[in-house]
Structure 1
Amino acid sequence: MIRRFGESMKTGQRYKLRPGAYGILMREGRVLLTHQRAPVPEYQLPGGGVDPGEGAIRALHREVFEETGWAIAAPIRIGAFRRFAYMPEYEVWAEKLCTIYAARPVIRRGLPSEPDHRAAWMAPEEAVEALGNDGDRHFLQRFLQIAMR
Structure 2
Amino acid sequence: MRRYGDPRREGQSYRARPGVYAILPRDGRLLLTYQAGIHNEVQLPGGGVDPGESPVAALHREVYEETGWRVAGPRRLGAFRRFVFMPEYEIWAEKICHIYLARPVRELGPPPEPEHSVHWTTPDLALRSLANPGERSFLQRVL
TM-score bracket, normalised by the shorter chain, equals over 0.9
Cα distance in 1, alignment partners of residues 89 and 47 from structure 2: 13
Taking only the aligned residue pairs, the percentage that are identical comes to 59
**What does residue 53 of structure 1 align with?**
52
TM-score of the aligned structures, taking structure 2 as reference length = 0.99
The answer to whether the aligner puts 1:128 opposite 2:138 as a matched pair is no
| 1:115 Cα deviation from its structure 2 partner | 1.1
**What does residue 16 of structure 1 align with?**
15
Query: What is the total number of aligned residue pairs between the two structures?
Result: 143
| 1:40 Cα deviation from its structure 2 partner | 2.1
Cα distance in 2, alignment partners of residues 110 and 39 from structure 1: 24
Q: Which runs of 5+ in 1 are unaligned?
A: 145-149
- Give structure 1 regions of 4+ aligned residues with deviation exceeding 2 angstroms: none
Cα distance in 2, alignment partners of residues 26 and 97 from structure 1: 23
| 1:32 Cα deviation from its structure 2 partner | 0.5
| 1:38 Cα deviation from its structure 2 partner | 1.7
Q: Which runs of 5+ in 2 are unaligned?
A: none
| Per-residue deviation, residues 19-60 of structure 1 (Å, max 9, x unmatched) | 001000000000000000020210000000000000000000
**What does residue 84 of structure 2 align with?**
85
RMSD value, Cα:
0.5
The answer to whether the aligner puts 1:105 opposite 2:97 as a matched pair is no
| Per-residue deviation, residues 94-114 of structure 1 (Å, max 9, x unmatched) | 000000000000010011011
The answer to whether the aligner puts 1:34 opposite 2:33 as a matched pair is yes
